[in-house]
Every structure is written in C-alpha cells, then in structure tokens.
C-alpha cells in the first residue's frame, strides 16, 4: 500500500499534467464539434469531406490515416456520404482492386458552407493563447508522435 502511495506522490506532476491535458482536449473537441454538429454531418463525415476537399482524391486507407479513424467506422461513413451524393467511388486505373474516393460538387458545396464557421470557431478556441504559446504547445505535442 505504501509503495502505491509513494508511486502516486512521485508521479504527481505527470498525473496532474495528464489530467490537465485530458480536460483541455475534451473542452477543445466539444467546442470544435459544435459547428460540425450544427451542419448535420457527423464528425467522421466532416473529416472525410474536409480531407478530400483539401487533399483531392484519396484511397480509403489514405483517408483513414489522415482523419485518424478506424476501418470499421470509415466504411459506413463512406457508404453514407456516397448515398447522400457527397462523394463518389471510382476504380483506381493503376490498381483495379483499389477504389479512389472523390468529392462531388454537392460535397464541395456543403464543405464550403461549413468551413468558414468551423475555421472561425477554431480561431476562437485558440484565441486564449498567444502565437508564441501556440508554437510552444505545438512543439511540445509533436514530441509525443
């Protein structure tokens, strides 16, 4: 029992840092998701449309890598976005076994309606930090990669 108490005491800074980080992460995500949810899209649907809008046509694996989601979830997300006419699947001319996902004009229209408010929202979230603090925070977080 004493060993655990000593371990906790010796790890107090690490534990309190994790708690502060987790609380900040939850708060940031809740604020960030506000504009996405108002659009009627799910977080994953927004992520797929945003990455296709900014990066162009991608394979499903590339989309998963860029939006940090699981394969089980992405299949349903892609299916629903295709059903709603926001994306289309095209056969990869270099590898017929592979499918390329492309954003449609309808998908471009919806993401262009959401992005301005989403970006303003993100700017508001990070307005609590100076530019120098943002750079330091980014550098610190990149150490965990």
- Per residue in 88-142, pLDDT (tens digit) is 999 888 888 889 999 999 999 999 999 999 999 999 999 999 999 999 999 999 9
Given a cut of 80, whether residue 70 has pLDDT beyond it is: no
Domain at 35-142, CATH class: mainly alpha
Dist. CA 110–CA 50, nearest whole Å: 10
Q: What is the pLDDT of residue 131?
A: 98
CB 119 within 8 A of CB 126: no
What mean pLDDT, rounded, does the chain reach? 93
Assign 73 a pLDDT band (cuts: 50, 70, 90).
Answer: confident
Global pTM? Answer: 0.84
* Domain residue limits, the chain: 35-142
**Structure token digits, residue 67:** 């939006």
Q: Of the ranges 11-15, 61-65, 127-131, which one carries the lowest mean pLDDT score? A: 61-65
Dist. CA 60–CA 135, nearest whole Å: 32
Given a cut of 90, whether residue 75 has pLDDT beyond it is: no
């Amino acid at each position: 029992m004493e060993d655990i108490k000593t371990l906790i005491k010796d790890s107090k800074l690490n534990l309190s840092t994790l708690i502060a980080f987790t609380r900040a992460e939850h708060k940031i995500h809740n604020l960030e998701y506000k504009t996405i949810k108002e659009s009627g899209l799910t977080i994953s649907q927004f992520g797929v449309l945003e990455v296709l809008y900014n990066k162009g046509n991608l394979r499903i694996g590339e989309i998963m890598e860029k939006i940090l989601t699981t394969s089980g979830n992405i299949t349903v997300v892609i299916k629903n976005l295709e059903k709603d006419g926001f994306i289309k699947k095209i056969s990869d001319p270099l590898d017929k076994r592979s499918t390329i996902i492309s954003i449609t004009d309808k998908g471009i229209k919806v993401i262009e309606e959401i992005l301005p408010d989403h970006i303003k929202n993100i700017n508001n979230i990070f307005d609590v930090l100076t530019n120098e603090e943002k750079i330091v925070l980014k550098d610190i977080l990149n150490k965990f990669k």
